[in-house]
Amino acid sequence: MHGALPENNQAHLFMNPLIQTLCLLMVPLLSASGETIDEDADPAASNLSPIWINQVGYHPQQQKWAVISDPQAKAFQIVEAEGDATPLFEGTIGEPAYWQPLQAEVALVDFSDFKTPGRFLIKTDTGATSAPLIIRNEALRELSKAAIKAFYFSRASFELEPAYAGKWARPAGHPDDHVLIHASAASESRPEGSVVSAPKGWYDAGDYNKYIVNSGISTYTLLLAYRMFPEYYNGLDLNIPESGNDIPDLLDEVKWNLDWMLAMQDPDDGGVYHKLTTLSFEPAVMPHLLNDPRYMVMKSTPAAYNFAAVMAMAHRVWKPFDAEYANTCLNAAIHAWEWAEANPGILYKQPEDVHTGHYGDRDIRDEHFWAATELYLATDQEKFMETARSIDCEIGVPGWNAVGILGHYSLAVEKQLPESISVIREQADKELRLANRSAAKVGMENKDYIWGSNAVAANKSMLLLIAHRLTGDTESFSIACDKLNYILGKNPTGYCFVTGFGARPVMNPHYRPSMGDDLKDPHPGFLSGGPNHQRHDVKWVSGYLGDAPAMAFCDEEASYATNEIAINWNAPLSFISGAVEAILEASAAPEDPTDE
Ligand code: 9MR
Ligand code: 9MR
């Protein structure tokens, strides 16, 4: 796909909501004449629509919401996608109201009462037609598998064989068995230039480097998914090389990264290197073609706390499967914790000759809190809980540099600790208020349109799902599902932000293996970062979909600030697609034999 021109330029133009509305006024006859969407045509064409829907699918019994950005539309019908125009369901559209991130009015289309499985279209009285609407059981199962399989595609030091990777098979890259100690990481037993080995792990994102802090939250998120929905994941076959063994595939995939993380610890003092990278970002070619030297770059306190938290969690999860590995994880966690307690203020500082990602964090009280809670849960030692109680850290929707709430997730899920449950409840209620303030229940504010905004949506959804599991309220579940809908197409860009899914998926992610191969289709199951109002990549791209924050998106390979992929974005996507699917599968009505 390297060098390919953006294919959807036309569509970008038309997706401007103003132009959309103009088009609608000009062509109502066309769409009202019962035209159906031709799937084989340019997928972009099927989305020149003011109706935003989840393009992947809704479960029959689920709350079903779409959005319309045409304030003239008052009523809608649902018809067969391939059939006559007989309305199968009719409804009125909600009151339009201004949605700030789009700088335009939007309204809710609620078709929750329509529960018939099949492929349909939503049509409005103004002549607009949606992308195909899919209603079926297990609607999100394949998505939930692909979101985890994406981690397999990003394995470092590993050949991807056709049996598992299909057309995306590739030779192994970055063996990382000859990693140099950078000057910033030199110690007495490992002086500058000494060689260590730290193979495996996942590439962080569009680049081929490996960073502890970002690995930590990603690994934790996947482990928590397993901890909360073990039955679902025990039955999930990801078709990875380890699929035949006795360990659930999700955990096999996570172990690929844990093994690498363990090698990021200096066995002599317990300190953890912040990252393993080349000095500069490598070019966008296939991984096996590269051999720039790779370095261990400085030990940092945030890396050590983050590592300690994840290893303590891994200890708990692995205990029933492999006691020896579980023990290794716990010892590593304690060693890292001790190093961090003795070296409390070593923040990451990018050395002058290093130009890769920083993941630098100035406030590490949240990392400290999180590590203390996980060590308490792993060891049952009160002293860790006392430390946790003594730390006053900010709590909110998590991200790579904001991990405080993860400690509460674990305490609430493992121990039903009332304080932690109420912290989570309070944050979830904030999100409910935000979603309900928006006429179309899009609980994203201007300030959420940062680098990786789709992961902000995914992490909000994850928070609501955890709140739902802890307190049983159904509204948290509906709003959590709706954030997934947002990612899957219920948004103004017209895109499903997961590669390989939906009527109009993102096609040109900033992901070096996809940029470096000859295939048109990007690797599937990856979540694009999404609209980023800060537009850091403005000088590299041909333009964004629009001026509004929610339209600051560009489906071009060069757009690393709106269209990169990253493990800390795919992890919450994996969590929410798996959790929603698990919960809905468990609550599905028994199949009616008279159906179909
Ligand atoms: O490819 C790099 C990506 O992984 C990072 O997120 C991004 C920001 O650190 O940098 C990317 O590299 C780009 C660089 O920053 C600017 N010139 C173009 C580079 C490759 O597209
Ligand atoms: O996700 C990170 C985002 O929050 C930062 O604003 C951005 C710039 O520092 O970096 C992002 O992380 C990138 C990392 O530095 C290098 N690998 C690619 C990551 C995703 O773009």
Taking only the tens place, the pLDDT of each residue in 296-339 is 999 999 999 999 999 999 999 999 999 999 999 999 999 999 99
Mean pLDDT, residues 546-566 = 98
Mean pLDDT, residues 265-294 = 98
At residue 453, does pLDDT exceed 50? yes
Q: Is the CB of 206 under 6 A from ligand 1?
A: yes
Q: Is the CB of 560 under 6 A from ligand 1?
A: yes
Identity of the amino acid at 582: A
In CATH, the number for domain 4-30+139-587 is 1.50.10.10
The pLDDT-based confidence of 590 (bands split at 50, 70, 90) is low
Q: Residue 354 C-alpha to ligand 2 middle, in angstroms?
A: 15
Mean pLDDT, residues 358-371 = 97
Check: CB of residue 11 under 8 Å from CB of residue 554: no
pLDDT of residue 593: 52
Q: Residue 157 C-alpha to ligand 2 middle, in angstroms?
A: 22
The pLDDT-based confidence of 263 (bands split at 50, 70, 90) is very high
Residue 53: other Cβ atoms inside 10 A: 31
Q: Which residues fall within 8 angstroms of residue 202, CB to CB, at 6 or more apart? A: 151, 154, 155, 156, 210, 215, 218, 256, 257, 260, 567
The pLDDT-based confidence of 588 (bands split at 50, 70, 90) is confident
Cα distance from N-terminal residue to C-terminal residue, the chain = 41
Q: Is the CB of 217 under 6 A from ligand 2?
A: no
pLDDT of residue 592: 54
In this structure, the residue with its CA closest to atom 20 of ligand 1 is 558
Q: Is 510 a catalytic residue?
A: yes
Burial of 503-540, coded b for 16+ CB within 10 Å and e otherwise, reads bbbbbbbbbbbbbbbeeeebbbbbbbbbbbbebebeee
Lowest pLDDT segment from 220-234, 513-527, 580-594: 580-594
Q: Which residues fall within 8 angstroms of residue 334, CB to CB, at 6 or more apart? A: 308, 375, 379
Taking only the tens place, the pLDDT of each residue in 111-122 is: 999 999 999 999
Determine the Cα–Cα distance for residues 17 and 5; give it in Å rounded to an integer.
24
Q: Which atom of ligand 2 has the smallest separation from the CA of 561?
A: 21
Q: What is the domain partition of the chain in residue ranges? A: 4-30+139-587, 50-135
Percent of the chain topping pLDDT 90: 90
Mutate to test the pocket of ligand 1, among 281, 515, 557 (most ligand atoms within 8 A of CB): 281
pLDDT of residue 133: 98
Taking only the tens place, the pLDDT of each residue in 412-448 is: 999 999 999 999 999 999 999 999 999 899 999 999 9
Taking only the tens place, the pLDDT of each residue in 483-536 is: 999 999 999 999 999 999 999 999 999 999 999 999 999 999 999 999 999 999
In this structure, the residue with its CA closest to atom 15 of ligand 2 is 357
Lowest pLDDT segment from 5-9, 98-102, 364-368: 5-9
Domain 50-135, classified CATH 2.60.40.10, yes or no: yes
Q: Is 207 a catalytic residue?
A: yes
* Ligand approaching nearest to the C-alpha of 455: 2
Q: Is the CB of 530 under 6 A from ligand 2?
A: no
Reported pTM = 0.92
Determine the Cα–Cα distance for residues 529 and 569; give it in Å rounded to an integer.
7
In this structure, the residue with its CA closest to atom 10 of ligand 2 is 357
Taking only the tens place, the pLDDT of each residue in 8-56 is: 333 333 333 333 333 333 332 222 222 333 334 444 444 468 999 999 9
- Residue among 267, 117, 282, 114 at smallest CA distance from 198: 267
Q: Is the CB of 207 under 6 A from ligand 1?
A: yes
Q: Is 555 a catalytic residue?
A: yes
Q: Which atom of ligand 2 has the smallest separation from the CA of 566?
A: 20
* Ligand approaching nearest to the C-alpha of 214: 2
pLDDT of residue 559: 98
Percent of the chain topping pLDDT 70: 91
Looking at every residue in the chain, the average pLDDT score rounds to: 92
The pLDDT-based confidence of 594 (bands split at 50, 70, 90) is low
Q: Is the CB of 556 under 6 A from ligand 1?
A: no
Residue of 510, 523, 533, 557 with catalytic role: 510
Taking only the tens place, the pLDDT of each residue in 165-209 is: 999 999 999 999 999 999 999 999 999 999 999 999 999 999 999
Residue 175: other Cβ atoms inside 10 A: 16
